[in-house]
């Protein structure tokens, strides 16, 4: 019987550990950054702007990040991006310790944008390097384990711990994130890989080669567009989620952190069952189940007035999301040639993640526009109800146009 992947593959073990550390820090930021924003203002549009700023780099830098990943040493690129993120989070820490001043929320948005830019480079390189580290037959297992670690540290442990730490001081979670990022960079630097022949053509020519491949693969392009719409809807709900938890459900920072932890359990469940579920029922039914799970979860949150119901609904949404991630990322890593993976992967994620800042702005705008006529309570529910209806339309489209088998 073969030894577990983490035990028999040193490079994967180092990458896994680094990913767990960075995701733990991301878990701190997940709660601490929007919470810091709410301490600066109660304006939903301003809070949405901070969330949008963190995702906007996927729209601007995803394509260049893919070319860079194919033209440089991916290992060093990941490590340097983590160190850069540590410096940026340190700047956010200093802002959190400063006396509140007018316009501080926009300084926070600016730092969130720069942090997001470094994250684009890091995440694209990390997903691209995985096929160089594990065998093709191990991709589902590796992706499942990486997603599981991400959710355990970034959603289950990080947010509730950040909620507890915020009670002692809003700057503490940011300080711990700095430490985690520096350690992660060290682990990635220890990875040992055979030299890979970098792309020898110019930047523009290399980028166009990736774009041509993406345009020629209709199914890959459709999948990217569906992901973009799904992430638009997810970010629209996440943006107002903290206000919904505070004002409609009356949750404290600690209680909201535990709601996020239940969602993380759903993500861990989805990551663990996805490889086996895809073998049992096939990739196509898994795709349908994922989209249906999003629709049901958003609808339950939109009609609920209970933190327990919200937590259970988020459990379902995140389970579905991780099943989607494991099956589609593994499918993509096999489908795209290794020499093009960085560029095509970045184009795919530009579609999939570039919509997120627009979703963040849309979530805050929906609340602001509907608050006068519908009242604050119902206005905060509307992004979830709209997302549920849109996911039903996505499910219909998937049954007609997405065939991964």
Tens digit of pLDDT for each residue in 349-383? 888 877 887 888 899 899 999 998 899 999 999 99
Residue with tokens 């209709």: 218
Tokens coding 76: 């060093």
How would you label 163-177 residue by residue, b for 16+ Cβ within 10 Å and e otherwise? bebbeeebbbbbbbb
Whole-prediction pTM value? Answer: 0.76
Residue with tokens 């926009």: 106
Please tell me the CATH code under which domain 8-191+201-401 is placed. 1.20.1250.20
Q: Map out the domains of the chain as residue ranges.
A: 8-191+201-401
Banded model confidence at residue 303, pLDDT cuts 50, 70, 90? very high
Share of the chain above pLDDT 90, in %: 48
Torsion sign across C-alpha atoms 368, 374, 263, 280: negative
- Using one digit for the tens of pLDDT, what is the confidence trace for 125-143? 888 888 889 888 888 888 8
CB contact set of 226 (below 8 Å; sequence gap of 6+): 394, 397, 398, 402
Length of the chain in terms of residues written: 405
Tokens coding 62: 């995803």
> Helix-strand-coil percent breakdown of the chain, rounded to 5?
85, 0, 15
**Distance from C-alpha of 58 to C-alpha of 268, rounded to nearest angstrom:** 25
Angle at alpha carbon of residue 347, lines to 204 and 61, rounded to 5°: 70
- Using one digit for the tens of pLDDT, what is the confidence trace for 304-322? 999 999 999 999 999 999 9
């Amino acid at each position: 019987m073969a030894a577990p992947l983490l035990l028999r593959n040193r490079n994967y073990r180092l990458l896994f550990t680094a990913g767990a550390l960075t995701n733990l820090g991301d878990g701190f930021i997940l709660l601490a950054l929007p919470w810091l924003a709410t301490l600066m203002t109660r304006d939903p549009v301003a809070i949405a702007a901070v969330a949008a700023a963190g995702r906007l780099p996927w729209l601007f830098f995803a394509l260049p990040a893919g070319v860079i990943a194919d033209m440089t040493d991916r290992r060093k690129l990941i490590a340097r991006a983590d160190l850069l993120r540590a410096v940026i989070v340190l700047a956010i820490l200093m802002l959190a310790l400063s006396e509140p001043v007018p316009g501080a929320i926009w300084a926070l948005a600016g730092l969130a944008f720069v942090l997001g830019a470094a994250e684009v480079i890091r995440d694209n390189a990390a997903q691209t390097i995985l096929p160089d580290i594990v065998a093709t037959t191990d991709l589902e297992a590796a992706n499942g384990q990486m997603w599981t670690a991400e959710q355990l540290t970034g959603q289950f442990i990080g947010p509730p711990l950040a909620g507890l730490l915020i009670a002692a001081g809003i700057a503490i979670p940011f300080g711990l994130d700095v430490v985690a990022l520096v350690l992660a960079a060290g682990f990635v630097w220890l990875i040992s890989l055979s030299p890979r022949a970098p792309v020898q053509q110019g930047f523009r020519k290399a980028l166009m080669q990736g774009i041509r491949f993406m345009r020629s693969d209709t199914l890959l392009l459709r999948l990217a567009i569906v992901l973009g719409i799904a992430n638009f809807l997810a970010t629209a709900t996440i943006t107002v989620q903290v206000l919904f938890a505070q004002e409609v459900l009356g949750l404290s920072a600690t209680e909201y952190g535990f709601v996020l932890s239940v969602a993380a359990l759903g993500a861990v469940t989805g990551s663990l069952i996805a490889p086996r579920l895809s073998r049992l029922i096939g990739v196509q039914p898994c795709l349908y189940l994922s989209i249906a799970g999003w629709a049901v979860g958003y609808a339950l949150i939109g009609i609920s007035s209970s933190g327990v119901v919200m937590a259970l609904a988020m459990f379902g949404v995140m389970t579905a999301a991780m099943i989607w991630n494991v099956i589609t990322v593994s499918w993509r890593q096999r489908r795209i040639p290794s020499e093009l993976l960085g560029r095509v992967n970045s184009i795919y994620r530009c579609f999939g993640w570039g919509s997120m800042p627009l979703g963040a702005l849309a979530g805050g705008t929906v609340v602001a526009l509907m608050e006068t006529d519908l009242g604050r309570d119902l206005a905060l529910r509307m992004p979830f109800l709209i997302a549920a209806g849109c996911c039903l339309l996505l499910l219909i489209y998937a049954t007609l146009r997405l065939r991964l088998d």
